[in-house]
Each structure stands twice: as C-alpha cells, then as structure tokens.
Amino acid sequence: MLSHLHPPGNLTNSTDHKAEDASKLAILFDTVAKSKVLFMKDRYDDGPIKLTHWQSEGVEASIIVELMKQASIPVCMLLTFLLSFVSSVCKSRVLKFWPLSFIWSKLSTCEQLGHRLEHLQVISSNRKAQNQPQLMRKANIFVSLLADVALGILLMSWLYRKNRIGHLADTLIPAADHVAKELQDLLQWLMGVPAGLKMNRALDQVLGRFFLYHIHLWISYIHLMSPFIEMILWYVGLSACLGLTVALSILSDIIALLTFHIYCFYVYGARLYCLKIYGLSSLWRLFRGKKWNVLRQRVDSCSYDLDQLFIGTLLFTILLFLLPTTALYYLVFTLLRLLVVVVQGLIHLLVDLIDSLPLYSILLRLCRSYRLAAGVKFRVLEQKTGKPLRLLMQINPLSYGSVVQTYRLPTYSCYPKDSWGSLCKKLFLGELIYPWKHKGEKQD
C-alpha cells in the first residue's frame, strides 16, 4: 500500500507485450493503494485520535503527531505571509532599475537567495500535493534545506571558534600582495624578451605600463580596505546560518571581486586581440577582391581601386607585425582568467550538487526500499504435486541511480552549453567568455 511504482523509462522502445504487462502492474499498484482506507483501523486506534498502525505504536505517539499537525498550520501561514512579503519586495520596481538589476543578475549570492526563496514558498504552501511526484518534491526540498542549513551552521561554528576569522583576515592581505607581486614580475618578464621572442618594443612597453598601473591601483584599493576586512568577514560568516550554499556563493563572489583586475586584463587583451583578428580577416578579403555583405550575410566580389589596395596593404602589414605582441598578452591573461573561472566553476558545481541532490528519496531508498518500487519479483515457497503453488511476492526496489535521476531537483544555474569546438573558436577569435548566469533560465 505504501509502495509507489516507477515504470522503466524505456517502455516506449519495448515490445507491446512488455508494455501491456507494465500497465497491468501499474493498475495493480494503484488498486492496492486505493484500498488503504480499508486498513485504517487497528487495535491501537480506540481513542478519539485516529492514526494508522504503520505510523504509531500507541495513542501517546499519535497525540504528539496530531499536535504537531495542528501547530504546523499557523506556522505555515505565518511563513507564507513573510515569504510573500519578501517576494513582493524582490519583484518591486525598485530592483528593476539598472544598477540594482545588474547586481542582482550577476552576483551568485543573489541568485542563490532567490532560488532558496522559491524553495521556501514551495514547502510552506498550504496546497496539498496532488500526486506522488509533487509530494516527493516537497519532501526533497525540505530535507535539502535542513541539510543545507545544518552544514552552514557547522561551518559558522568552525569559523568563529579559535578566532579563525581574524587569522583569515590576517592572511588575506599578504596573499593579495603576493598575487600582485607575481603579476608585476610576470609583466616585467613580458616587457623584456619572453621565452626568447622578439616583440614590438613600443607596443610592449605601452601595454606593460598600462597593466602595471592597474596593478598599482588594485594594491592601493586592497590596502585601503584592509582595516575593514575582518569586520566584513565577520558579517559574511554569519550568512552561513542561511545555508552552506549561500556561504559558497558568497565565496564565489569574493573570489570574483578579488580577481577583478585579472578580469580587466583579460577584457583589455581580448578586445585588442579581437580587433586585430577581425581587421586582418577583413583586409585579407580586400586582397582577394572580396567584401562582407552585411545585408545578405555572405562574402561577395568587389573591385577596389589602387589607393584602397595601397592603404589596405599598409594596414595589413602593421596589424600583422603587431599581432604577436598582442597575442602573447592575450594568451597569458586568458590562462589566468580561465584559472579563476575553473575555481568558480568547481564552487558552483558543489552548490548545484547540494541544491539538486534528492536527499529524502535517497534516505527513503536506504531505509525503506519498498516505498520506491521498480516492479515485483516472485519466489517459489512450495511446489508439490497435488497442492497449490505457493509464491512469495516481493517489491523490487528502484536503483539509486534511478532514484537520483527521477527525483533530482531543478537548479538555477544555466551556463551556456557550448561545445569544446565553439569554446576554442571563441578563444581563438578573442570573444569574451562570460561565466555569469542568465537570470530566468533553469536546467535540470
């Protein structure tokens, strides 16, 4: 009666005989589940409070369960009111203005808080689940929230014990100075003769001094914020009580802020490199008597006069000889940027794992495997001539992989699903690669 049948997903590709057997088995499970009301009374339910025999072993436990049910109604109503108020504030027009909307859509913390707000609205809703998948989804969200908050509280207790926040703040400034010094040494190496390559000295000096000035500004900014870093980390540590995923999202945003100068270097190098690549491709079409037709989005033939060919030759030569210097700076800062993106990607993968893992379904499969049924199996108990055949029917539980695949919760992350070929093409052409999430999209 408590088992829920999960038919295999490949029934459409199977034979009609197997599909018919599966449908008959589903009807059997549904009929048994509807007969649960016939077994609601037992010897323990003599008092005014009725409870089934598989939920309680006595009247005392049933009274506690009934009181908890009655108390959950006003709690859910209050929580629903608070969540509706918070969601109305989040959807107000104030947050739709450009600075606030930009910050809300780019920061991982804001996205994670909005995702958890949706989860709280789902579990605090007073509407009863209509079917088994909705009930399991609510239970998975509730257990996921509890586990997330418990892990966050453990992290918060670890941070505030033995003054670890102060030690972290003391090591943050020297670490930032060390990274800045390494970047300065890298730029000095690029401004010389890197790996024996002879670069364009004028452009090399301009780019090197430009990036060195940005590093100087970044070091000044870090030292200006150094008196407030411990206080900022102290308040950031309190956010762990909202859940481990919120703390990890804040960590990702802190990494993005601390490496903002690397991102600026990458953008400058990528834009300059992209400009030269597209300029060289356009001038190469000029040599072949071609041009790009913007209206029809194709390459057409075109005749050029002598002055246009002469100016195009000069520009092509200048861009071609300046390309190695620009490409070297772009390559170095792209590798640094990809390193930061990989670290942030690992953090977001951990956040998505915590958000999407159906913990309640996994625990149900571990403790009460008969609740998640993939079918039934029979075992022969007695087979004698002249006597009826005795069979034992047992529930065939769903596998753990199928449990995760069936009840996996949707996540808010939506990274562009670019193939490795398109990613390499973007890197070669100097197109910017944004790891930011796009608001309003979800993926399972």
Q: Is there a domain that residue 71 lies in?
A: no
**Average pLDDT for 93-97:** 58
Is residue 261 situated within a structural domain? Answer: yes
Q: Extract the tokens encoding 109.
A: 């913390």
Taking Cα atoms as reference points, which of 434, 249, 236 lies closest to residue 352? 249
pLDDT band at 235 (very low <50, low <70, confident <90, very high): confident
Question: Rounded distance, CA 133 to CA 156, Å?
Answer: 34
Structure tokens at 10: 């490949």
55 confidence band (pLDDT: 50, 70, 90):
very low
Q: Among candidates 22, 27, 1, which has minimal Cα distance to 10?
A: 22
Residue 64 falls inside a structural domain: no
At residue 398's C-alpha, the angle toward residues 394 and 400, to 5°, is 140
- Give the residue-averaged pLDDT of 147-167: 88
**pLDDT of amino acid 412:** 65
From CA 346, how far away is CA 435, in angstroms rounded? 12
Establish if 76 belongs to a structural domain.
Answer: no
CB 59 within 8 A of CB 74: no
Q: What is the mean pLDDT of residues 233-245?
A: 86
Residue 63 in any domain: the answer is: no
Domain that holds residue 332: 157-357+413-429
Task: Please check whether residue 171 lies inside any domain of the structure.
Answer: yes
Whether residue 150 contacts residue 168, with contact meaning beta carbons closer than 8 Å, is answered with: no
pLDDT, average across residues 69-84: 69
**Least-confidence region, from 47-56, 139-148, 202-211, 313-322:** 47-56
Within a domain: residue 72? no
Structurally, how many domains does the chain consist of?
A: 1
Average pLDDT over residues 98-125: 76
Q: Residues 203, 325: contact at Cβ < 8 Å?
A: yes
Q: How confident is the model at residue 104 (pLDDT cuts 50, 70, 90)?
A: low
Q: Report the pLDDT averaged over residues 403-414.
A: 78
Residue 321 CA: distances (Å) to CA of 58, 280, 325 = 88, 11, 8
With b for 16 or more beta-carbon neighbours within 10 A and e for fewer, the 390-400 pattern comes to eeeeebebbee
- Identify whether 5 is part of a domain: no
What tokens appear for 369 in the block?
């495997």
406 near 431, Cβ under 8 Å? no
Model confidence band, residue 162 (pLDDT cutoffs 50, 70, 90): confident
